[in-house]
Amino acid sequence: MNGRFAARAAAVAAVAAKYADEVDSNARPPLEAAGALKEQRLLSASVPTQFGGEGATMLELSEIATEIGAADANAGMVFAMHHSQALILWRHGSRPGVRATIQKVLDQEWLLGSATTERGIGGDARRSNCALEYPAQGRVKVVKDAPVISYAEAADAILVTGRSSADAPASDQRMLICPKGEYDLEKTGVWQALGLRGTASDSFIITCETSEDNLLDDDYGTISSHTALPTAHLLWSSVWLGIASSAADQARAAVRRQARAAVGFPPPGQLRLAELLVELQTFANMVRHSCEHYDRVADDPAVLGSISFALEMNSLKVSSANAVVKLVLDALRIVGIAGYRTDTPQSLSRQVRDALGAPIQINNDRLLTNNAPLSLMAKVNL
């Protein structure tokens, strides 16, 4: 990684790598990496320059996410999920409470989480059962039964969706910033997953009463299509690229060992490694190209709300999720039994398990189902 954030990203990656196995084994948040993100001021990296921040582009955020994700996918996902929420603040909010949260992210490196899915909805973030209530003048309350809130107990604020009112349809949603100290979390389930265990995506009922000034201006449909969904797909894909890169590094090291052991003969994994690196480069080009495209159109509502853009972002997520699984499994075949074991320095156990979560993190089938009717109405954006 090059550029203005390279040294800081490398410092966080070093901390993340040190604790990665412990985080995975104990299914706990990567607190040390989160602390390093704050110390290196990377949680505020995307705050625009007009608010006093560094104004990191999506391409720069992507490169940081890949660097950290290669060290520990859990830490990479925390970085990615935080920024997909942080970007919402200045892109969709102008009220005093929103501006105050932006300042907290900038001054105190607040870590932001989100609660958008809800029990009984089936994973569809664009519908809510819960509704915002208005118990007093200038006050708003929400109670949400969330099957997943990643790193909730480590977050400084959680962005929560709910129906705009008790009589609003399920798709008429607003988003509310719930600052720490103004909400209660009742844990209803523990995240015991195959991979990405350190995201600590436990189940909670979150209850919050706060100021109406903490409501985002735009409806959640706009927030989702313009910011939340595309930035999540872009940054998740960047983390998955990091996982694939980490696995490729192990494969390269294995082939080098084979070459030293078989002087005069081509290592058995050499051609497979060459093929893997071609696919890794193609994966990287796809992700970085999509990030550059988002940077170009980020302030164009007509593009962000278009069918072709929705197709592009959904397709990126599906392609990236499939790519990381294939690349990690290809690397495992090259590394061999040492990669299959969990007690060797060459182990790829964590990368395999983390990668397998990609196709079901916003399920690929759901996105393809969404793409099917859209593909009849728009061409692929080339």
- Both 197 and 271 in one domain: the answer is no
pLDDT value, residue 264? 66
pTM for the predicted model, two decimal places: 0.96
**How many CA atoms, within 13 angstroms, populate the side-chain half-sphere of residue 3?**
12
Asked whether residue 380 is assigned to any structural domain, the reply reads no
Torsion, Cα of 6, 236, 38, 64 (10° steps):
0
Q: Among 61, 76, 108, which residue terminates a domain?
A: 108
Determine contact, residues 273/101, Cβ cutoff 8 Å: no
Burial annotation 44-83 (CB, 10 A radius, 16+ → b, else e): bbbbbeeeebbebbbbbbbbbbbbbbbbbbbbbbbbbbbb
Give helix 6-26 / helix 73-92 axis angle, nearest 10°.
120
Q: How far apart are CA 311 and CA 150, in angstroms?
A: 27
Residues 104 and 152 in one domain: no
**Do 143 and 130 touch, CB atoms closer than 8 A?**
yes
Backbone φ and ψ for 135, nearest 5 degrees, come out as: -70, -20
65, part of any domain: yes
Give yes or no: residues 204 and 234 share one domain.
no
Predicted confidence at residue 158, as pLDDT, reads: 98
189 in the same domain as 64: no
- Count how many domains the chain has: 3
Which pLDDT value is given to residue 373? 86
Last residue of a domain, one of 183, 214, 245: 214
3-state SS class at 169: coil
Which residue range is the domain that position 152 belongs to? 112-214
> Which domain CATH number covers 63?
1.10.540.10
> Are both 226 and 272 inside the same structural domain?
yes
Question: Tell me, what CATH number does 253's domain have?
Answer: 1.20.140.10
Q: What pLDDT is attached to residue 164?
A: 97
pLDDT (tens place) for every residue of the chain, 382 residues total? 889 999 999 999 999 999 999 999 999 999 999 999 999 999 999 999 999 999 999 999 999 999 999 999 999 999 999 999 999 999 999 999 999 999 999 999 999 999 999 999 878 899 999 999 999 999 999 999 999 999 999 999 999 999 999 999 999 999 999 999 999 999 999 999 999 999 999 999 999 999 999 999 999 999 999 999 999 999 999 999 999 999 999 999 999 998 888 776 778 889 999 999 999 999 999 999 999 999 999 999 999 999 999 999 999 999 999 999 999 999 999 999 999 999 999 999 999 999 999 999 888 888 988 888 888 887 777 7
- Co-location of 289 and 365 in the same domain: yes
Which single residue is written with the structure tokens 């294995």? Answer: 254
- Indicate whether 207 and 231 sit together in one domain: no
List C-alpha distances in Å: 280 to 276, 326, 363: 6, 10, 22
Tell me the C-alpha distance between 234 and 294, whole Å.
9
Residue 227 sits in the same domain as residue 370: yes
Nearest to 312 by CA among 234, 235, 247: 234
Res 370: pLDDT = 86
Q: Is the residue at 74 inside a domain?
A: yes
Q: How far is CA 335 from CA 12, 168, 326, 354, in A?
A: 27, 55, 14, 18
Residue 30 lies in a domain: yes
- Within this chain, do residues 206 and 144 fall inside the same structural domain, yes or no? yes
Q: Is the dihedral of CA 233, 114, 349, 189 positive or negative?
A: negative
pLDDT at 4: 96
Q: Is 212 exposed, middle or buried (0-12, 13-18, 19+ CB in 10 A)?
A: middle
* Domain boundary residue, one of 168, 194, 214: 214
On whether residue 90 sits in a domain, the answer given is yes
* Domain-located, residue 1: no
Coil/strand/helix, residue 10: helix
Distance CA 259, CA 253 (A): 10
In this structure, are 104 and 133 located in the same domain? no
Same domain, 278 and 364: yes
* Amino acid symbol at 287: V
Same-domain pairing of 32 and 55:
yes
- Would 379 be classed as within a structural domain? no
User: For residue 309, is it within any domain?
Assistant: yes
Helix 349-356, helix 307-335: angle, nearest 10: 150
Render 117-162 in DSSP notation, one character per residue. --TTTTS-TT--SSB-B--STTEEEEEEEEEEETTGGG-SEEEEEE
